[in-house]
Homo-oligomer: A and B are copies of this chain.
Amino acid sequence: MIVRDRPSGFRLFLMLRGSVLPRILPALTINILIATLVTMSHGDLFKLKITLTTIPFTLIGLPISIFLGFRNNTAYDRFWEARKLWGELLIRSRNLSRQCQSLITYPVTALASNGLNDIRVRMIYRAIAFSYALKNLLRDLPGEDMPQWLTQEEVKLIQTSKNKPDFLINRMALDLQQSMNEKRIDPCLAANIDTTLSAITAAAAACERIKNTPIPFSYTLLLHRTAYIYCFLLPFGLVDSIGFMTPFVVAIVAYTFFGLDALGDEIEEPFGLDANDLPLDAICRAIEIDLLEAIQHTPLPVPMLPVGYRLT
């Protein structure tokens, strides 16, 4: 995620970081080149005058605007749903921590210093590990930031697990079972914790859904083909009416089309490491801090800060 104030005045046009310009530069350059050649030849291709006016572009503009609008909304919806799911994960982790502390009965307060024999502390550590495990699953990372919250035994077991977050949720469920067996919690209240575990499972599985189900490939293909044909033909349609301004106008139109498209590519897969993707590392850290503070774990880690305006 880019964290940056909105620039004003001419600086708006000069900044590159956070812009999609670098990404679309190759296609844009080719397009401007074509436009320049067309302008210099006055629209002739091998001595044959290409008789295009702007009318076809108005007609093709109709399906294009449907495509681009649809693509844009869908990509942003995926991004925003993903953000909501990680917000949900934060909420439910906090709830789980609060419920462990207030609904499971122990003679002493739930403090990190009680160690892993305290079921409450164990569940809270696992909730932290869960968010890191999910992040690593979504980003296809090995997961070296996770083991510190688990026991030796679990670290070994989790290696062979097909779905590490799911493994952790099941372990938390066994902790809950143990609390009930030890009569530390009333079944009515255990039902509430079980509901929290279900909600965490739901948020994680919904993230997997977004990761595994892209916008149907045929859409992408149809959209790209149409947008490219549109932009590459545009100079022929404009050269007769606006003359030497053609490359300039083509550049603007292509910049918006390719830019919108490239931006969609970035945010429709919101769990990656592109500039505009979600800052999962920072969210995991936030969960970690919240949960550790509640059990007075020291020292607390520090929140992640943007590096070069970027938060990962």
Contacts and interface: CB of A to CB of B under 8 A. Distances in A.
A191 B189 CA distance: 6
A116 B195 CA distance: 27
B55 A242 contact: yes
A6 B224 contact: yes
Contacts of A149: none
Interface residues of A, number: 121
Contacts of A276: 216-218
A245 B51 contact: yes
Contacts of A59: 54, 57, 61, 234, 249, 253
Contacts of A208: 87
B176 A242 contact: no
Contacts of A163: 290, 293
Given A19-B221, A66-B65, A253-B59, A216 B170 contact: no
A228 B69 contact: no
A38 interface: no
Query: Mostly helix, strand, loop or mixed at chain A's interface?
Result: helix
B190 A189 contact: yes
Interface centre among A20, A102, A249 (most CB of B within 10 A): A102
Contact of A68 (B15, B63, B105): B63
A58 B177 CA distance: 66
A238 B308 CA distance: 42
A189 to B, nearest CB: 5
Given A55-B242, A94-B205, A62 B60 contact: no
21 contacts: A12-B224, A20-B222, A50-B245, A52-B242, A54-B55, A54-B58, A56-B242, A59-B253, A61-B62, A63-B68, A67-B260, A70-B73, A87-B206, A91-B205, A98-B197, A98-B201, A99-B194, A162-B300, A187-B188, A192-B195, A219-B263
